[in-house]
A = this chain, B = another copy of it.
Amino acid sequence: MFEKRDSNKKTIEELGEFGLIDHLTKDVKILQPSTIRGVGDDTAVIDAGTNYLLVTKDLLLEGVHFDLSYYPLKHLGYKAITVNLSDIYAMNGSPRQVIVGLGISSRFPLEAIEELYAGMYAACEKYGVDLVGGDTTSSLRGLFLSVTAIGTVDKDKVVYRGPAGENDLLCVSGDLGGAYAGLLILEREKAVFKANPDMQPDLEGHDYILERQLKPEARQDIVKILGNMQILPTAMIDISDGLASEIKHICKHSDLGCTVYEDKIPIDQDTYDTARSFKMDPTLYAMNGGEDYELLFTIKVEDYEKIKNIPEISVIGHMTAANSGVNLITKSGPVVEIKAQGWDHLRKQE
**Which residues of A are at the interface with B, using a C-beta cutoff of 8 A?**
1-3, 5, 9-13, 15, 17, 20-21, 23-25, 27-32, 34-35, 37-41, 43-44, 46, 48-51, 53, 55-59, 61-65, 68, 73, 96-97, 99-101, 103-106, 108-115, 117, 121, 124-125, 128-142, 144, 146, 148, 150, 152, 345-346, 348-350
Contact = CB atoms under 8 A, between A and B. Distances in A.
Contacts of A132: 35, 37-39, 44, 46, 55
9 contacts: A11-B110, A17-B136, A25-B131, A28-B131, A34-B152, A44-B132, A64-B139, A139-B144, A141-B141
A128 B65 CA distance: 34
A310 to B, nearest CB: 28
Contacts of A101: 57-59, 101, 146
Contacts of A63: 140
B38 A128 contact: no
Given A53-B53, A103-B144, A97 B46 contact: yes
Contacts of A105: 349
Nearest to A45: B132
A111 B68 contact: no
A57 to B, nearest CB: 5
A40 B135 CA distance: 11
B32 A96 contact: yes
A28 B40 CA distance: 33
A119 to B, nearest CB: 12
Nearest to A51: B49
A27 B144 CA distance: 23
A135 B59 contact: yes
A113 B20 contact: yes
Given A57-B133, A110-B9, A140 B64 contact: yes
B131 A46 contact: no
Given A63-B140, A131-B25, A73 B35 contact: no
Nearest to A108: B12
Chain A to chain B: the 5 pairs with minimum beta-carbon distance, closest first: A146-B146, A44-B132, A38-B132, A138-B349, A48-B48
